[in-house]
Amino acid sequence: MTLRARALSAVLFAILTAGGAQAQTALTGDINASSDAEHFDALRLRSGGLFDYESPFHYMGIAAQTTRYAQSGWSRDAPAILVLWRNQDRNTLAGTIAEAGVVRIAGRTRLIGDATWSLRPSPRTGIELLAAGDLVETQHALDRATAYTFAGVSAERQLTPRLTAIGLAGYQRFSDGNERVHLRGRLIWMLIPKQGLSAQLRWRQYDTSQIDVGGAYFNPGRYREWQAGLAMRKRSGGWLWSGTVAAGREQIDHNFRQTTLLAEVRTEGTLCKDTRLVLHASYNRAAGFATADGYWYRVVGMTVIVPF
């Protein structure tokens, strides 16, 4: 364990010891692994403590994490520390879920985080405000400590008992000065409501202000993608299961076109003594932060929360 990691662990222990006498606490751990068509691998390990813990939907806490990036003999480590906060309604997910902190990469410190504030003004309408920041995960971008921030607003409306429309508008800025404007939309038609099975049509696009980023990451001037697929969300045996399979087409700079594919699955539930477990996996064949032609990436992960 490095000196920095030991210091973060000491801070975490001190905070948990101070708060544990007054409120229920929990330990949390997370492992997330990803790889892509260019043999770029990332492994993120996170551990932390939650205090003022009432449920998986209500807590605050702190966590230390490290991410190991590797590709063809090259590697980088990115240690980070984050503050965690969640206060949501279990049934509607209205409320706030957020994490924010700092990460160290290539001799520089960057702000990172992810936050969503959800509001349900009526049973058929939902509004979300979103903010995020992270590193751009390619070899060249990490060597330059390139990061981005994103802010957006999303609106959801149930048009009929079976048809729901969702729209999102967002703005993304990179630390190298590049900017993107994002638009996304989704139509959801409930095929079998009792089984949580729906047909979905998804569309997204963004336009880039700065074309030349020195080859640090995939950066078309204009990107478009649409997908059609099936999704399921169902509770069974005390566990919540969800999954999506979809296919579509993407268009890059008005000329390059290729097929895109998406498959993802997620489950979460409670084990013995209120231990919470979340498992997820996904495969996405679409342009990301790397070369577009035939590019794909996959992710697997697990999160566990153990109250005590």
Residue 294: predicted pLDDT:
77
Closest CA to 241 of 282, 281, 275, 269: 269
Residue 255: predicted pLDDT:
80
CATH class label, 3-307? mainly beta
220 three-class SS = coil
User: pTM for this one?
Assistant: 0.88
Residue 83: predicted pLDDT:
98
Residue 15: predicted pLDDT:
47
Residue 237: predicted pLDDT:
84
Closest CA to 239 of 267, 262, 216: 267
Closest CA to 302 of 284, 281, 278, 282: 278
CA 109 to chain centre: 21
Structural domain spans, the chain: 3-307
Residue 289: predicted pLDDT:
63
CA distances from 160 to 125, 165, 188 (A): 12, 10, 11
Average pLDDT, the chain: 91
pLDDT at residue 25 is higher than 90: yes
pLDDT band at 44 (very low <50, low <70, confident <90, very high): very high
Mean pLDDT of 250-262: 89
**Distance between CA atoms of residues 234 and 224, nearest Å:** 31
179 three-class SS = strand
Burial status of residue 305 (CB atoms within 10 A of its CB: 0-12, 13-18, 19 or more): buried
CA 252 to chain centre: 24
Beta pairing class for 163-174 and 74-88: unpaired
pLDDT digits (tens, 9 = 90+) for 58-102: 999 999 999 999 999 999 999 999 999 999 998 899 999 999 999
Residue 167: predicted pLDDT:
98
Beta bridge partners of 190: 198
- Residue 304: Cβ within 10 Å count: 16
Residue 23: predicted pLDDT:
63
pLDDT digits (tens, 9 = 90+) for 200-221: 999 999 999 988 898 899 899 9
Residue 5: predicted pLDDT:
45
Residue 290: predicted pLDDT:
61
pLDDT band at 245 (very low <50, low <70, confident <90, very high): very high
pLDDT digits (tens, 9 = 90+) for 90-147: 889 999 999 999 999 999 999 999 999 999 999 999 999 999 999 999 999 999 999 9
Residue 292: predicted pLDDT:
57
pLDDT digits (tens, 9 = 90+) for 270-295: 998 789 999 999 999 998 766 556 78
Residue 291: predicted pLDDT:
56
> In this prediction, what percent of the chain has a pLDDT beyond 70?
91
Tell me phi and psi for residue 175, to 5 degrees. Answer: -70, -15
